[in-house]
Amino acid sequence: VGADIENLVNEGAILAARRSKKVVEQIDLEEAIERVIAGPERKSRLINEEEKRIIAYHEAGHAIVANSIPEADPVHKVSITSRGMAGGYTIMLPEEDRTLMSRKKLNADMVGLLGGRAAESIVFDDITSGASNDLERVTKMARAMVTRLGMSSELGPMVYGQKEELIFLGREISEQRDYSEDVAKQIDKEVRKIVSEAYEHAVSIIIEYRDKLDSVAQRLLEVETITRDEFEEIFPTPVPKNSGTPEPQTAMPQMA
């Protein structure tokens, strides 16, 4: 359940990995990246066959969904090898470093994160604890859109709650509520709506490409790890991909 991985990837580990290229040149870079972002491989951890199948579908779900949304980053690798705390992982890498996140890009990432849970739900008619980290990240992103980035038209271009950076014997309180119960209710409603729409989007993609999902999951159970090339052979990107960085709606006039 590659959530831990994606977490690290999106929060800068890739960047760190790239910057350390010169340092790591002599060793296998690919392994270095994964070690950095997913912890050491844990060959000793035995996961039974039934659970392997769920993990395979979960990771395949992330990959299939991400590959079907224009703004999501390309799938770099999908694996059901156990690394660190995760039973599997999916790595998505942007073509270029990014310093800004747009509303559309954030929505795309949330749909991708919910692809694992959506796949479980469609395939198994049950859902597991394996998505808990994905759900935490989706919730955090949706809350940030509404309360820190002014991306909900209901709540407007302002922030809600005061961020506190208290390092008090290891505790970090991330937010102090400074708004009324009414606003809290509006925030909850908006966050819930953003997450629900992302989940419905993920489910619809899983249903549309169910056969590809089965193929990727089956392949993962056979070979454990699929790279970008093999993944795109099984499931060629069905949409024109873009970086998720907004472009002007009209052509820019040239200055004399």
- Count of residues near a copy of itself by CB under 8 A: 93
Q: Which residue has the tokens 């796949």?
A: 119
Determine the Cα–Cα distance for residues 82 and 98; give it in Å rounded to an integer: 29
User: Which of 234, 247, 229, 249 has the alpha carbon at shortest distance from 74?
Assistant: 229
The binding track of 21-50 with respect to a copy of itself, each residue x by CB under 8 A or -, is -------------------------xxx-x
Give the residue with the Cβ less far from a copy of itself, 25 or 181.
181
Which residues inside 191-230 make contact with a copy of itself, applying CB under 8 A?
Answer: 191-192, 195-196, 199, 211, 214-215, 217-219, 222
User: Binding residue for a copy of itself (CB under 8 A) from 11, 28, 174, 239?
Assistant: 174
Give the residue with the Cβ less far from a copy of itself, 21 or 28.
21
Q: Enumerate residues 6+ apart whose C-beta is below 8 A from 33.
A: 14, 17
Per CB under 8 A, does 83 bind a copy of itself? Answer: no
Binding region for a copy of itself (CB under 8 A) out of 33-41, 61-69, 128-136, 225-233:
128-136
Give the residue with the Cβ less far from a copy of itself, 25 or 251.
251
Per CB under 8 A, does 171 bind a copy of itself? Answer: yes
User: Binding residue for a copy of itself (CB under 8 A) from 15, 162, 208, 238?
Assistant: 162
Positions marked catalytic = 59
Determine the Cα–Cα distance for residues 223 and 53; give it in Å rounded to an integer: 13
Determine the Cα–Cα distance for residues 89 and 107; give it in Å rounded to an integer: 21
Which residues inside 98-127 make contact with a copy of itself, applying CB under 8 A?
Answer: 98-104, 114, 117, 120, 123-127
Give the residue with the Cβ less far from a copy of itself, 218 or 237.
218
User: Binding residue for a copy of itself (CB under 8 A) from 23, 26, 40, 96?
Assistant: 96
Q: Are 145 and 151 in contact (CB under 8 A)?
A: yes
Distance of alpha carbon 111 from the chain centroid: 8
- H or E segment to which residue 18 belongs: helix 14-19
Three-state SS annotation for 214-249: HHHHHHHHHHCEEEHHHHHHHCCCCCCCCCCCCCCC
